[in-house]
Amino acid sequence: METVKVAVVGFGTIGSGAVKLLLQQPERIARATGKKVELAYVVDKDLTRSRGVDVPKGKLVDDLNLVLNDPEIHTVIELVGGIEPTRGIVLKLLENGKNVVTANKALLAHHGPELFAMARKKGRSIAFEAAVGGGIPIIAAIGQSLTANRIECIHGILNGTSNFILTQMEELGTDYSASVAEAQRLGYAEANPAMDVDGTDAAQKLAILSHLAFGATPDWRKIPRTGIDTVQTADIRCANELGYSIKLLAVAQLTDEGLELHVSPTLTRHHTPLAEVRGAYNAVRVVGDAVGSVFFHGLGAGQMPTASAVIADLIDTIVGRAAITFKTLALWDKDRSAPVPVRDPGKIADRFYLRLSVQDRPGVLAEIAGVFGRHNISIASVLQHEPAGLDDGFVPLVIMTHSASAGALDDALKTIDSLPCAHPGTVRMRVRD
């Protein structure tokens, strides 16, 4: 049986998971590739910390040159993470003729064009199933299984940390800070969870999926995004009462006027697959013109689910499928792409959930409703309870609109904020049925 040499660069959590599969399940990988896959090196600065897996003597090294200068190494798994110096590492690997497997969505979102150009120039492939959705094979689904379709929209719960926190808030009624603390205690959130909870991570993943599905090349930094740090338990309760759960949804929707892209806490209707996604899971719903709606659900992060996707990419690279996919998809290839225009977010119509704080006196509802009417925004339902707790003369008023453009809604809320009967700072979220 032919032997293929591979290396892992970055021996952190995911790196250790990949090394575990490579060292502990060789027969499984041999069966899938028809070859003996030999782990030549694991490269990391830290040669001493225990990772729960024994790397044979001499194979754990801190010198990348050992990998770069070994012409027998066919494929390298990059799990360093982050943008620099990882960008330079991946470029050097490609320059030295290595195929690359990566889980690094930030790197692809920032430097996809440069890296893919180098891979093309060198006749090598980059595979990145693990960069979006962890163990969910969403890259293969969109890039391979659904290619007979025009993709019409993608709705994703792409950040497991956010979903865990929202689930805690919904199921236990704890507030945002307490739920973050619990997520940190259980290892679902980092000490600084900013990238997860502010929508950055989801926006980077959405940019990658949008490129794959629509050929769009959006700058992820320009994707309108709102994080879950704005979500209050009061909204989760009201949403529930209306038959919805709040999820951090990443949305890419093709319209006649271009591609809509946004990441925001969104009301999703109970008993739909997305609303039922709980805990640290990810999910993606893809709608294609032939296939209809296809829904994928699984662990979007964590050591072994991500390692599962990384090793699947390694297997694909070794058997030659990755090279074919890399060539036919022509990702981030400016010679092959006809960029899809990305639509002005102010024009994006949706149903909206609004929680206003209004004076508890006769005539206020009529006044508020009048403003919406004048802005041509139609109200679908209203929820107002008896005042509870501290009585400052203001009560929450929850309104669900029919479809309205975000721009018209902005204008209406600006007017309402200036009325004496309403506190400024109305809470606003999109609604998906």
User: What residues make contact with a second copy under the rule CB under 8 A?
Assistant: 17, 21, 25, 28-29, 32-34, 129, 135-137, 140-141, 144-150, 271-273, 276, 288-299, 302, 304-305, 307-312, 315-316, 319-321, 324-325, 327-328
Taking the C-alpha atoms of residue 209 and residue 131, their distance in angstroms, rounded to an integer, is 10
Q: Is the CB of residue 348 less than 8 Å from the CB of residue 329?
A: no
Amino acid at 412: A
Give the residues across from 382 on adjacent strands: 399
Taking the C-alpha atoms of residue 286 and residue 268, their distance in angstroms, rounded to an integer, is 15
**Least distance to a second copy from the beta carbon of 266, Å?**
18
Please name the residues in contact with 350: beta carbons below 8 A apart, sequence gap of 6 or more.
Answer: 403, 404, 406, 430, 431, 432
Q: Is the CB of residue 42 less than 8 Å from the CB of residue 8?
A: yes
Closest CA to 122 of 95, 93, 87: 95
State which residue, 375 or 432, has the beta carbon closest to a second copy. 432
**Least distance to a second copy from the beta carbon of 413, Å?**
34
State which residue, 134 or 227, has the beta carbon closest to a second copy. 134
State which residue, 302 or 396, has the beta carbon closest to a second copy. 302
Please give the sequence-ordered ranges of beta strands (E in DSSP) within 180-257, or none if there are none. Answer: 244-255
**Least distance to a second copy from the beta carbon of 98, Å?**
20
**Burial label, 367 (beta-carbon count in 10 A; 0-12, 13-18, 19+):** middle
* C-alpha count within 13 angstroms, C-beta hemisphere, residue 333: 11
CB burial readout 51-77, b (16+ within 10 A) else e: bebebeeebbbeebebbbeeeebbbbb
Instruction: Report residue 311 as tokens.
Output: 């090793």
**Least distance to a second copy from the beta carbon of 302, Å?**
8
**Least distance to a second copy from the beta carbon of 165, Å?**
19
Closest CA to 288 of 157, 142, 137, 129: 142
**Least distance to a second copy from the beta carbon of 243, Å?**
14
Indicate which residue of 20, 105, 205, 247 is catalytic.
Answer: 205
- Centre a 10 Å sphere on the Cβ of residue 316 and count the other Cβ atoms it contains: 25
Closest CA to 274 of 349, 163, 366: 163
Q: Is 247 a catalytic residue?
A: no
**H or E element in which residue 131 lies:** none
**Least distance to a second copy from the beta carbon of 142, Å?**
10
**Least distance to a second copy from the beta carbon of 160, Å?**
12
CA angle 131, 134, 135 (to 5 degrees): 130
DSSP secondary structure letters along 42-91 = EE-S-SSS--SSPPPTTTEES-THHHHT-TTEEEEEE---SSTTHHHHHH
Active-site positions read 205
